[in-house]
Amino acid sequence: MTASKDEPMTATIEMIEAGGRTLRVAHWRLDQKSEHPPLLFFNGIGANIEAVAPLAEMLTERAFVMFDMPGTGESPDPVLPYNPFTMCWTASQILDRLGVETVDVMGVSWGGAMAQHFALQHPKRTRRLVLAATTAGMLMVPGNPAALTKMADPRRYIDPEFMNEHFATLYGGVDPDGEAHQKDSHIGRLKPPSPRGYMYQLLAMLGWTSLPALPFLNKEVLIMMGDDDQIVPLINGRILASAIRNARLEVLKGGGHLFLLTHADESVAALREFLDAPEGEDRAAA
């Protein structure tokens, strides 16, 4: 992904009221005819729309929808706490407002848990599911303690010096274009979440796990993991793949937690190969 913070997004951005909340929603190419369903994307904790906009820009053949969680990006602060059930219901309401019925669903990290919940809660709206750098929730194998400690610190969004100093510890992985490119291209698109927004995102997944329900998830699923992820170790992807009957595990060699950024071409190729495959094709991991 080569977009920088100075390059404009081609998205339509609007404030939408859904589920009793006002949220900033971005969507790409909804007005264009496509053979593919739109992709509904759930972002990582504290991340704003711009952080993943390059992925949406690259998938030119399909529509793409995502939104800033309450208190992140330019969505107003949450008044009340929320949980996966209420926020997935809100996401479904957003799709209704946009006139979208069926979607492919994708989530990264914290958003991967939300994507799992959406597919379980709204199976009729979900065609296929993509889980990137994520876990089954509280029943996970934790990452590097140094990375997890720094991840919980909102200074990674507010203090550029903190992010620069701890970037490798936080995210791991190797960017083929160099460490400076990895930092600049990611940090330049971030907008700090509010303290309340960040805290409510942390609280939303407290005690949550999808593991007991995953054997009943009757969807084709692509699980994407980096083998140098310091936050979500690869073993978590293997756990997901073993729990979901029709899952395929794709491992990005040299990929850290931000492999969608550092291994953009490889990631997009894997996405297209999975999402464009004929219906009913056996996608089970070898």
The candidate with the shortest Cα–Cα distance to 13, out of 98, 88, 93, is: 98
Rounded Cα–Cα distance for residues 86 and 121 (Å): 10
Entry field: residues in the chain:
286
Q: Tell me, what amino acid is at 138?
A: M
| 210 belongs to the catalytic site | no
Rounded Cα–Cα distance for residues 222 and 285 (Å): 9
Helices (H), the chain: 49-58, 84-98, 110-121, 145-151, 155-158, 160-171, 179-187, 195-204, 234-243, 259-262, 264-275
Count of CB atoms situated within 10 Å of the CB of 251: 14
H/E run at residue 12: strand 12-18
**Residue for token pair 């990452």:** 143
Catalytic residue among 34, 75, 92, 109: 109
**Residue for token pair 């972002």:** 43
The full DSSP string for 85-132 is: HHHHHHHHHHHHHHT---EEEEEETHHHHHHHHHHHH-TTTEEEEEEE
Q: Tell me the CA distances in angstroms from 74 to 22, 23, 42, 80, one per residue in order.
A: 10, 8, 16, 17
**Residue for token pair 């209420």:** 86
Catalytic residues: 109
